[in-house]
Amino acid sequence: MLDEPLTSSSEATILARTYFMGLLEAEERPTVANRVRERIRADLARLEELKAQVPTFIVPEGLEDVAEYQLATLQYGLASGRTALAWADEHLP
């Protein structure tokens, strides 16, 4: 629980750590909560960097529909990350 959340599925790791956080000593909980927030912020920063690059992408002819849904996926990731950070700020110590 006190290790860095390193798995590829941030959401699953965050939820597992939160689920079991009550088993930790009270003084350990803020450390875990801060690591959770750091992971969310890092994931969100990577997506924001990608979003900043989007205007430079050249979409090959015929792949406009593909690019549209790829951009929608990026927007989902950004919204999800922002929501996760707000949730962590509200519910974690």
Which contacts (CB < 8 Å, 24+ apart) does range 70-77 have? 74/47, 74/50, 77/47
Cα atoms found within 13 Å of the Cα of residue 57, Cβ hemisphere only = 14
- The parent domain of residue 25 ranges over 10-91
In a domain, 23, yes or no: yes
46 token code pair: 């990577």
pTM score, whole prediction: 0.83
Q: How confident is residue 10, by pLDDT bands cut at 50, 70 and 90?
A: confident
In a domain, 3, yes or no: no
In a domain, 2, yes or no: no
9 token code pair: 């599925």
The total number of structural domains that make up the chain: 1
Q: What is the pLDDT of residues 49-68, one digit of tens each?
A: 999 999 999 999 999 999 99
